[in-house]
């Protein structure tokens, strides 16, 4: 089965230890995600490619329990859609990133819980290609 990364500019893959690709300002050292053309703090029109820590803690979270409208490209129908968790994950003392969580049960999700970046299936196309994306999984 062919696997293809969704938004390959956003995380390192294939890799046993995938990382999110952020940006670090060469002038003020602000870290942001993803790598963007300018610094959000000081406006410097360049950012250095900066790989983010693989582990983090859950700053806040919610669940996505209805099928998003377009431009969502997950390919589910109302019948096949399964809720997913979304969190704001703090990576070291560098930055917080919004990301899917592999866990979506409010009884299991806890503020401050340890998480690790993993690559997970996102959807399977008609030709059998599996599209993968990143998510954070409880350690």
Partner 1 sequence: MEDVAIIGVGLHPFGRFGAKPALEMGAEAVRAACADAGAEWKDVQFAFGGSFEVDNPDAVTGQLGLTGIPFMDVYNGCATAATALELTADAIRAGKYDIGVAVGMDKHDPGAFTSDPVDYGAPAWYGEMGYFLTTKFFGMKINRYMHDHGISHETLARVAAKAFRNGALNPNAFRRKPVAEADILASRMLNYPLTQYMFCAPDEGAAAAVLCRADIASRFTSSPVYLRATTLRTRRYGAHEVHSTWAAVEQDDAPTVYASRAAYEQAGIGPEDVDVVQLQDTDAGAEVIHMAENGFCADGEQERLIAEGATEIGGSLPVNTDGGLIANGEPVGASGLRQVHELVLQLRGRAGERQVPGTPRVGYAQLYGAPGTAGVSILST
- Least distance to partner 1, CB of residue 74, Å: 6
- Least distance to partner 1, CB of residue 111, Å: 5
Nearer to partner 1, 26 or 106 (CB): 106
**Residue 44 interacting partner from partner 1, Zn ion, none (CB closer than 5 to 8 Å by kind):** Zn ion
User: What is the size of the binding site for partner 1 (CB under 8 A)?
Assistant: 41
- Based on the shown chain and the rule CB under 5 A, indicate whether residue 44 belongs to the binding site for Zn ion: yes
- Based on the shown chain and the rule CB under 8 A, indicate whether residue 95 belongs to the binding site for partner 1: yes
Query: Bridge-partner residues for 108, per DSSP?
Result: none
Out of 5, 21, 31, 39, point to the residue binding Zn ion (CB under 5 A).
39
- Least distance to partner 1, CB of residue 2, Å: 19
- Based on the shown chain and the rule CB under 8 A, indicate whether residue 96 belongs to the binding site for partner 1: yes
Q: Name the nearest CA neighbour of 82 among 60, 103, 108, 111.
A: 103
DSSP for residue 20: B
- Based on the shown chain and the rule CB under 8 A, indicate whether residue 93 belongs to the binding site for partner 1: yes
| C-alpha 137: how far from chain center | 11
CA distance 15 to 46: 27
For residue 69 the two structure tokens come to 């409208």
Question: Taking the alpha carbons of 43, 51, 138, 84 in that order, is the dihedral positive or negative?
Answer: positive
CB 35 within 8 A of CB 23: yes
- Based on the shown chain and the rule CB under 5 A, indicate whether residue 30 belongs to the binding site for Zn ion: yes
> CA torsion, points 19, 13, 16, 1, in degrees to nearest 10?
150
Residue tagged 């390919």 (tokens)? 75
- Binding site residues, partner 1, CB under 8 A: 6-7, 10, 22, 30, 32-34, 40-41, 59-66, 68-74, 84, 86-88, 90, 93-98, 100, 106, 111, 122, 133
């Amino acid at each position: 089965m062919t696997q293809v990364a969704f938004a390959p500019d956003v995380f390192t893959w294939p890799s046993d230890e995938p990382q999110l690709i952020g940006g670090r300002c060469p002038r003020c050292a602000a870290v942001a995600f993803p790598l963007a053309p300018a610094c959000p703090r000081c406006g410097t029109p360049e950012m250095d490619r900066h790989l983010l820590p693989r582990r983090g803690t859950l700053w806040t979270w919610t669940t996505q329990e209805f099928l998003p409208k377009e431009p969502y490209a997950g390919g589910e129908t109302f019948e096949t859609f399964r809720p997913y968790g979304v969190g704001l994950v703090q990576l070291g003392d560098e930055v917080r990133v919004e990301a899917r969580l592999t866990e979506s049960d409010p009884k299991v999700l806890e503020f401050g819980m340890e998480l690790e970046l993993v690559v997970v299936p996102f959807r399977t196309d008609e030709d059998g290609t599996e599209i993968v994306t990143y998510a954070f999984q409880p350690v």
